[in-house]
A and B are shown apart, each in its own frame.
Chain A
Amino acid sequence: MSDAQMTSEALETADAGKPERTMGRFNKWDTPWLNGKLLTGAGIILAILVMGLIGRLVWDTELAFTGSSPLNLPPVGFENNRGQVGEWAHPLGTENSGRDMLAVLLLGTPNTFLIGAIAAAAGMGIGIVLGFSSGFIGGWVDGVIRLAADVTITIPALMVLVVISAVLRQIDLVTMALLIAAFAWQSPTRLIRSQVLSMKESGYVRMAKLSGASTIDIMFKEMLPNLIPYLFASFIAGATGAILAAVGLETLGLGPQRVPTLGGTIYDAISAAALLRNMWWWWGLPTVLLALMFVGLLLVNLGLDEIANPRLRKASK
C-alpha cells in the first residue's frame, strides 16, 4: 500500500506542477504505468501462475487422481478429527477420495486462469470487432449491434449457463470458457463504441482522414493504440467476470469433471460436508487461492483505472 501511495504522491506533485518536481516529467521512471496497485496486483497473479506452472514440474501431479493417496489427511502440523497428523508426503493434506490437495491445487489453479483468459479474450475480440463497427460505420449496423447488446446485457449469465451445463453434463474447459464469453462481449462493445465515437471527432483522426489513410489504417494505427489502457482494463474486468462465472458454475457442480478446478474442489468439499467434518483445508485452500487471485485482479484493475483517468491518481492520496 505504501508503494502505491508513494507513486501516486509523486504523480500528484508532478501533476500539480510544483517547482521542485517539474523536472519529474523528464525522468523516465516517472511514468503512470509504474503504478503501485498495478504492480502489486500483477505480482500476486504472476506468483500464483508461476507456482502453478513450476509446481507441476517438481510435484507428482498424478496424485491429483482419485485413490492415489490416503484419505482425509490434514496438512502438515495439523490434526484431523481422527487424530491423524499431516505427513510431508502430502504437505497440504488429502481429501475424501484420496486426492493430494497440493497436486489438485497445482493443476486446478492454471485451469481456472485459463478459463478466465480464454473467455475474456474471446469476449474482447467480439467487443473490438463489434465496437469498432458500431462506432465507425454507424447507421443500421450501429443500431443492430446496440440493440443486441442492450437486449442481452441484463440477462444474469449464471442462469442461462446453469441451463446449458445441466443439459450438457460433460463439459470441457474451452467449451465452458466460450459459453461464458457469450455473456462477456457487451461491456467491451459499449466501451469501445463510445471511445471510437469520441475519437472520431478528434483532430488526429480527421488529419489522418484528410491525408487519405484507409479506414483500416485509421482504426488500427490511429485509434487502437489510444485504446490500449481501456482495452487492458476491459480485459482484466472481463477475466474477473469470467472466472467469477466459472467458479459459480463449478461450485454448483456444473464445471468440467475430468480436470481438477478450484471451484470443482469446493463443490466436492461442500457435497462431502467438509465444513461439518472440520476438513478446512479441503475447501479453505482453494477459497484462499481464489480470493488472492481476485484481490490481484482488483488491484490490477484499480491501477489501470488510475492510468487511464489521471483524476483518480490525484485523489488517491
Chain B
Amino acid sequence: MGRIPAGYLFRRLGIFVLTIWLAATVIWIIPRLAPGDPISAMVGRMAASAGFIENADAIIEGWQERFGLNEPLFNQYLRYLWGCLRFDFGYSLASFPTQVSTLIGFALPWTIGLLLLAVTITFIFGNFVGAIMVWSHTPRIIKALIPFGLVFTSIPTILAALLLLYVFAFLLNAFPMRGAYALGVEPGLSWDFIWTVIYHGTLPALAIILVSFGYWALGMRGMMITVEGEDYIQLAKAKGLKPFHILYRYMVRNAILPQITAFALALGTLVSGQILVEYIFGYPGMGKLIYDAIITQDFAVIQGTSYIVILLTAIAVLIVDLAYPFIDPRISLKGGR
C-alpha cells in the first residue's frame, strides 16, 4: 500500500489553495480593470441591452452595501475572498432578488450528474477500446474498424453536440431537443421522472462520450504497447494462461494506472466541453447558467459560476492526485518534490 509523505501532502494542498486563490483573484481583478464603478457599469450595460431595469437603484444600493464599495479597494478584496469561502457571490443582476448561490444550487446537480455519468462511461469504454487495439487476440475486423471511430475524438464536443442534435433530435425526432426532463413530469424520485431524465440526458452524454473516448483509447494503446513488451507477459504466455486472463489480469491492470493521472489533467478540458454541450442542449446545468448570464450581462452570475467550476475541478484533481499512491503502490512520492 502506498503512503503519502507529509511533504508531498502539504505541497499538494498548498498548490490547491494557491490555485483557488489565484483564480478567485483573477476573476475579481478583471472587471475592475475596466474603467468606472463596476456595479453601475454592469447595471448600465444591462439597461442598455434590456431597455429598462425595474429596480436599478435597489440593485446598486444592495451591492454597494454588501460589498462595501465605498470602502478602500483592499477591504473590498478581502470581503470578496471571504464571500468566496462561504459561496456568497451576492445577488444575480438579471433576476435581482435571487442570490447567485441559489441559482448555482439549482444548476450544479445537473452538471455533476451528467459529467460523472458521461466520464465514467467514457473512461471504461475508451480504455477497453485502447486495450483491444493492442491485444493480439482481437479479431482483425474490429482492429480495422476502430480507427474510424477515433476520427470523432478529434472534433470539439460542441460540434459533436450540434451534429447529434440535428440528426437524432431534429431529423429523426428520436430524442428531445432541449432540457433535462419533460415539462409535465413532477421532479422527484418516481420512475417517470428517472425515465425522462435518462431520455433527455442521452444525447448530451453521447456527445461527450463520442468525442472523448478516443483520448483514453490512444493513451491506453501507448501504455499497453509498453506493457506488452515486459518479461512477465512473456512468462504468463509461456505458462499457457488464457489470453483473456493475461489481457485483464496482467496487461490492463498495469497499463490503466497512468491513465488515472491523465484523467486528472484532462478534467479541465472535459468540464469546458460539458459547459458547451449544456448550452447547445439547453441542459439546465452550469453551462446554460453561464450562457444565460452572458446574454443578460449578469456579471455576478458569470463570476460565481466560473469560480465554482474552477473550484470543483481543482477539488477533483486533488482527490485523484492524493488517491493515486494508494491505487498504484509502485509510485513512491518523495516529500517536497
Contacts and interface: CB of A to CB of B under 8 A. Distances in A.
A253 B150 CA distance: 29
Given A162-B290, A166-B299, A253-B294, A156 B313 contact: yes
Contact of A252 (B18, B228, B279): B279
Given A147-B15, A287-B162, A291-B159, A252 B154 contact: no
Given A162-B302, A315-B134, A284 B166 contact: yes
A163 to B, nearest CB: 5
A153 B149 CA distance: 29
B155 A154 contact: no
B314 A154 contact: yes
Contacts of B291: 252
B268 interface: yes
Nearest to A269: B162
B272 A160 contact: no
A283 B151 contact: no
A23 interface: no
Interface string B263-283: 011011101100110011000
A294 B267 contact: no
A311 interface: yes
Given A151-B15, A167-B34, A156 B222 contact: no
B154 A154 contact: no
Interface string B235-273: 000000000000000000000000000001101110110
Contact of A290 (B156, B267, B279): B156
Nearest to A187: B265
B43 interface: no
Interface in A261-317: 266, 270, 275-276, 278, 280, 283-284, 287, 290-291, 294-295, 297-298, 302, 309, 311-312, 314-315
Nearest to B267: A154
Given A1-B147, A156-B313, A247 B153 contact: no
A295 B152 CA distance: 8
B73 interface: no
A167 B31 contact: yes
Interface string A228-258: 0000000000001100110110011110000
Given A248-B272, A253-B294, A160 B15 contact: no
Contact of B165 (A247, A253, A275, A309): A275
B22 interface: yes
A151 B272 CA distance: 18
Size band of the B side of the interface? 35 or more
B173 interface: no
By secondary structure, the A interface counts as helix
A173 interface: no
Nearest to B272: A158
Interface string B189-205: 00000000000000000
B313 A295 contact: no
B81 to A, nearest CB: 16
Nearest to A182: B26
B75 interface: no
Contacts of A163: 26-27, 30-31, 302-303, 306
Contacts of A283: 162
Interface in A138-185: 147, 150-160, 162-164, 166-168
A254 B337 CA distance: 40
A156 B268 contact: yes
Interface string B146-175: 010011011110110011011000100000
Contacts of B27: 160, 163
By secondary structure, the B interface counts as helix
B276 A252 contact: yes
A275 B33 CA distance: 38
A305 to B, nearest CB: 8
B95 interface: no
B317 interface: yes
Interface string B115-157: 0000000000000000000100000000000010011011110
Interface string B11-34: 000010011001100110011011
Contacts of A280: 166
Given A150-B15, A252-B294, A158 B155 contact: no
5 contacts: A157-B272, A163-B27, A166-B299, A252-B294, A266-B158
Interface of B: 15, 18-19, 22-23, 26-27, 30-31, 33-34, 134, 147, 150-151, 153-156, 158-159, 162-163, 165-166, 170, 177, 218, 221-222, 225-226, 228-229, 264-265, 267-269, 271-272, 275-276, 279-280, 290-291, 294-295, 297, 299, 302-303, 305-306, 309-310, 313-314, 317
Interface of A: 1, 147, 150-160, 162-164, 166-168, 240-241, 244-245, 247-248, 251-254, 266, 270, 275-276, 278, 280, 283-284, 287, 290-291, 294-295, 297-298, 302, 309, 311-312, 314-315
Given A251-B276, A252-B290, A252-B291, 17 more contacts: A147-B15, A147-B18, A154-B264, A154-B313, A156-B267, A157-B268, A159-B271, A159-B305, A166-B294, A245-B272, A247-B158, A247-B159, A253-B295, A275-B162, A283-B162, A290-B159, A295-B151
